[in-house]
Amino acid sequence: MRVYLDNAATTRPYNEVREIVDEYNDKYYANASSLHSFGREARKGIEWAREEIAGLINASPREIIFTSGATESDNWAIRGAAYHNKNKGRHIITSAIEHHAVLHTCSQLEKEGFDVTYLPVDSDGNINIRELKDAIREDTILISIMAANNEIGTIEPIKEIGEIAGKKGILFHTDAVQAVGKMDIDVDKMNIDLLSMSAHKIHGPKGVGFLYINKKVILDVFMQGGGQERALRAGTYNAPSIAGFGKAVEIMKKSMSDDVKYIEKLRDYFIDDILKNVPDTILNGSREHRLCNNINFTFKGIEGEAFLYALDLEGIACSTGSACTADSGSESHVIDALGDSNKFEVGASVRFSLSKFNTKEEIDYTIEVLKRTVERLRKLSPFY
């Protein structure tokens, strides 16, 4: 059996998404910025997708700006806000467990004279609201906290963060890559000024995302060139992928509630079985405030890559952390930030991430393989 449990890294596109991408490549292939009828036909798909996405997060279509993905969106949101508001202040607040698209951007800004506060998290991966309030200064111009963590699935209190930022007149950005489609996001009720998202996390195409920019917010232009996206983000429109993004959102909105309940049931079944039957195992992340599809365990006495390859040989795809840093060979900064209570002297931290396409039979098979793999590797380990 082959079981794909790495949906936090990327998801299988819907059949309908592949069909509309092919259609736009074959039939509506014209440059969507062109004024002739061919161009106008391609542009219709883009504007339809913009409306679908805006409706998903309760935004205006004009507030949705298409990008190449969430990495670009994160970079633009943080850099654009920092550069435009540098005369007001140079202080940014983020968390220690953000995606590297945020952390590396903040690190670069520090080299350029900005000051960044990295909020710690508790053993479940939650930031402390009191510590956030205490970190705010007169020169704070931006708070960037992810909606939900990509490695451990912990959901952050973004509504409370948005309220705090709004009262202080500070811009609030959230990386919502893992959250959109798995929890309700309302940019108005949550007082979100900037939000990043990628299509390939919700069964859409790779290479396309968006940045929500509240109509009251001004950012420095990220990419110069033509006048695309209201002259905010230049570059020829990726019409096929944008249309595919719109189709993925259209499909997702129709079944999101049922899908979340189904995936949660599989997740809890998986977690309960492993914690009951595999000793010396830690569940990383909050059990209560957790994404429906995320499972992250640390197994004592096992090396991570050996465990990953052993599961791969059994046909199971999972991850030792964020797919964006899988080749770096470095320890997960997220697991490290959780503190010593979430660690063994030697242990493998493994993420399993589910989708609506997974079945109970697949989960049963994975549990069976996981149990015997842990037992086998521990017998071989000098650290257990």
Residues 151-173: pLDDT tens digits?
A: 999 999 999 999 999 999 999 99
- Residue pLDDT, tens place only, 289-306: 999 999 999 999 998 888
> Given a cut of 50, is residue 21 above it in pLDDT?
yes
Which helix (H) or strand (E) segment is 105 a member of? Answer: helix 100-111
- Residue pLDDT, tens place only, 347-379: 889 999 999 999 999 999 999 999 999 999 999
In this predicted model, which residue has the larger pLDDT, 346 or 156? 156
Q: Are both 228 and 276 inside the same structural domain?
A: no
CATH number, domain with residue 148:
3.40.640.10
Q: Are both 68 and 38 inside the same structural domain?
A: yes
- Contacts with 9 (C-beta within 8 Å, 6 or more apart), sequence order: 319, 322, 323, 353
How many domains, the chain?
2
Q: Are both 153 and 295 inside the same structural domain?
A: no
Looking up tokens 């959109």, which residue turns up?
A: 180
Q: Which pLDDT value is given to residue 7? A: 98
- State percent of the chain over pLDDT 70: 97
**Average pLDDT of the segment spanning 91-114:** 98
b/e per residue, 174-184, with b = 16+ CB within 10 A? bbbbbbbbbbe
> Of 204, 221, 251, at which residue does a domain stop?
251
Distances in Å between the Cα of 20 and the Cα atoms of 185, 246, 281, 284 are: 26, 10, 44, 38
Would you place residue 320 in the very low, low, confident or very high pLDDT band (cuts 50, 70, 90)? confident
**Average pLDDT of the segment spanning 116-138:** 98
Model confidence pTM above 0.75: yes
**Average pLDDT of the segment spanning 311-316:** 98
Type of residue numbered 55:
G
> Of 224, 251, 278, at which residue does a domain stop?
251
Q: Are both 247 and 278 inside the same structural domain?
A: no
Q: Are both 235 and 306 inside the same structural domain?
A: no
CA–CA dist 149, 285 (Å, integer): 9
In this predicted model, which residue has the larger pLDDT, 344 or 199? 199
Type of residue numbered 182:
K
Q: Are both 64 and 188 inside the same structural domain?
A: yes
> Given a cut of 80, is residue 176 above it in pLDDT?
yes
- Where do the H-state alpha helices sit in 314-359? 333-337
> Of 251, 278, 309, at which residue does a domain stop?
251
Q: Are both 62 and 154 inside the same structural domain?
A: yes
Q: Which pLDDT value is given to residue 342? A: 67
> Given a cut of 60, is residue 329 above it in pLDDT?
no
Q: Which pLDDT value is given to residue 325? A: 46
Q: Which pLDDT value is given to residue 219? A: 96
- Contacts with 211 (C-beta within 8 Å, 6 or more apart), sequence order: 65, 67, 72, 73, 76, 77, 194, 195, 196, 233
Q: Are both 168 and 114 inside the same structural domain?
A: yes
Distances in Å between the Cα of 110 and the Cα atoms of 90, 113, 195, 205 are: 9, 5, 22, 34
Token duo for residue 331: 């320890």
Q: Are both 126 and 177 inside the same structural domain?
A: yes
Distances in Å between the Cα of 161 and the Cα atoms of 53, 106, 242 are: 23, 19, 30
b/e per residue, 231-265, with b = 16+ CB within 10 A? ebbeeebbbbbbbbbbbbbbbbeeebeebbebbbe
- Does residue 318 have an active-site annotation? no
Q: Are both 189 and 204 inside the same structural domain?
A: yes
- In terms of Cβ atoms closer than 10 Å to its own Cβ (0-12, 13-18, 19+), residue 337 is buried
For the chain, give the mean pLDDT. 95
CATH number, domain with residue 362:
3.90.1150.10
Q: Are both 235 and 303 inside the same structural domain?
A: no
Q: Which pLDDT value is given to residue 321? A: 60
- Residue pLDDT, tens place only, 47-83: 999 999 999 999 999 999 999 999 999 999 999 999 9
- Strand-pair category, 281-283 with 3-4: unpaired
- Contacts with 239 (C-beta within 8 Å, 6 or more apart), sequence order: 24, 28, 32, 42, 43, 45, 46
Expressed as residue numbers, the domain containing 180 is 15-251
- State percent of the chain over pLDDT 90: 89
Q: Are both 194 and 302 inside the same structural domain?
A: no
CA–CA dist 143, 131 (Å, integer): 13
